[in-house]
Structure 1
Amino acid sequence: MKKERDVEKVYSNAEFAAKLRRLADAVETGDKFEIQIAGERIYVPVRASFSVEHEREEGEEEIEFQIRWSREE
């Protein structure tokens, strides 16, 4: 079983755009998506679900693009 993890990685605009393009291509073609975040390679299966979340509090706003799936162990 993998350890719990909660990591946030900041990317340059160009790096973030490239990752979004690769994700969009994978979603559009129905392929799995691979990404490396803070040294760990993550494999996102085709069955993942996608959502967009918006939060607003104390003078700040946040949009999160979320990808969620259950691990089959």
Structure 2
Amino acid sequence: MNLIAARAGLVRAAVEKGLEPVPSPCISVCRMDAATGWCEGCWRTLDEIAHWSSMDDPQRLAVWARVEQRIHDTETHRP
């Protein structure tokens, strides 16, 4: 399992227990993949990265959900 996917599950559980604010997926590996348009470290788009600081917690959780889905889709479609 991808480290970010595992972290997403931990974040979701912590938020359910009242953690605020929702932490960033950033792991300081900041390189954009030209083919996908996602950061190779946190799996976010440039738009998601740029707007993170102005997002509320539900929006941040939605980004985490998209990150999890991207990881799942990528791992599912590997040869």
What TM-score comes out, normalization by structure 1 length? 0.32
What TM-score comes out, normalization by structure 2 length? 0.31
- Structure number with the bigger relative contact order (C-alpha 8 A, sep ≥ 6) is 2
Larger radius of gyration: 1
